[in-house]
């Protein structure tokens, strides 16, 4: 019996190392976000521009996967917050929508002012959404479909990091479904936090 090619072993080890590094980085990010002593770099910044820029790479990815990706981004929305973590929030929500949308499915992002808040909504079609699972989507390590999540490379940390980012900015995040074949994640953030 021949030994498998050492090159394949090396490639497998490198891939596993990459996954473990990603998992470790996500856990560190989550633990930092959940620490009450976390010092965020709170500044006024053009959130509309950040969302617009973040969307670009996902639009290209959607095209390669034959997915429809629509956006409605209200211009000139400024936000007081940590630009780095809020950029990560947008990336997490879009990454989640891309990974779990149906083949050739639909994804949409909407950003708008709503009173004294900013509302960010990310929608995607899905094979099946169980309404009972919705409250758990933001739990650490929670995955709705274990086998599918392992194929997509997820660890069940993305949405829990998103929730931690929203919480540190005194906002709200919810997940809803109208028909059990789509998912809508809505983030509401105050334009100005109480404590500056």
User: Would you call 174 exposed, middle or buried from its count of C-beta atoms within 10 A (0-12, 13-18, 19+)?
Assistant: middle
pLDDT the model gives residue 73: 98
CATH 3.50.50.60 assigned to 39-190: no
Model confidence over 53-77: pLDDT tens digits?
999 989 999 999 999 999 999 999 9
Q: Is the pTM of this model over 0.85?
A: no
Instruction: List Cα–Cα distances, 128 to 102, 132, 156, 163, in angstroms.
Output: 9, 12, 17, 22
Least confident of 8-22, 121-135, 152-166, 177-191: 8-22
pLDDT reported for residue 158: 79
Please tell me which residue, 15 or 196, carries the higher pLDDT value: 15
In the chain, where the domains are located: 39-190
* Res. 195 pLDDT band, cuts 50 70 90: very low
Please give the biggest Cα pair distance in the chain: 70
The residue ranking higher by pLDDT, 93 or 127, is 93
Strand partners, 189: 118
Sign, CA dihedral 58-64-67-71, equals: positive
Write down the residue that tokens 């190392």 correspond to. 17
Instruction: Work out the pLDDT band at 17, boundaries 50, 70, 90.
Output: low
Phi (first) and psi of residue 135, to 5 degrees: -65, -20
13 pLDDT exceeds 50? yes
| Interval 92-102: pLDDT, tens | 999 999 998 99
């Amino acid at each position: 019996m021949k030994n498998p090619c050492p090159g394949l072993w090396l490639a497998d080890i490198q891939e596993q190392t990459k996954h473990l590094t990603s998992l470790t980085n996500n856990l560190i990010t989550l633990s930092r976000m959940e620490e009450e002593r976390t010092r965020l770099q709170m500044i006024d910044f053009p959130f509309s521009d950040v969302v617009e820029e973040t969307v670009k790479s996902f639009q290209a990815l959607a095209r390669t996967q034959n997915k429809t990706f629509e956006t409605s981004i209200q211009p000139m929305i400024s936000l007081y917050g940590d630009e780095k973590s809020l950029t990560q929030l947008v990336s997490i929500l879009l990454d989640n929508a891309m990974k779990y949308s149906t083949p050739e499915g639909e994804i949409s992002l909407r950003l708008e002012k709503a009173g004294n808040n900013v509302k960010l909504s990310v929608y995607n079609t899905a094979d099946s959404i169980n309404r009972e699972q919705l409250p758990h989507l933001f739990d650490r390590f929670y995955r709705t479909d274990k086998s599918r999540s392992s194929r997509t490379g997820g660890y069940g940390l993305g949405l829990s990091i998103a929730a931690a980012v929203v919480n540190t900015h005194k906002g709200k995040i919810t997940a809803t479904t109208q028909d059990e074949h789509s998912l809508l994640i809505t983030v509401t953030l105050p334009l100005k936090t109480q404590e500056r």
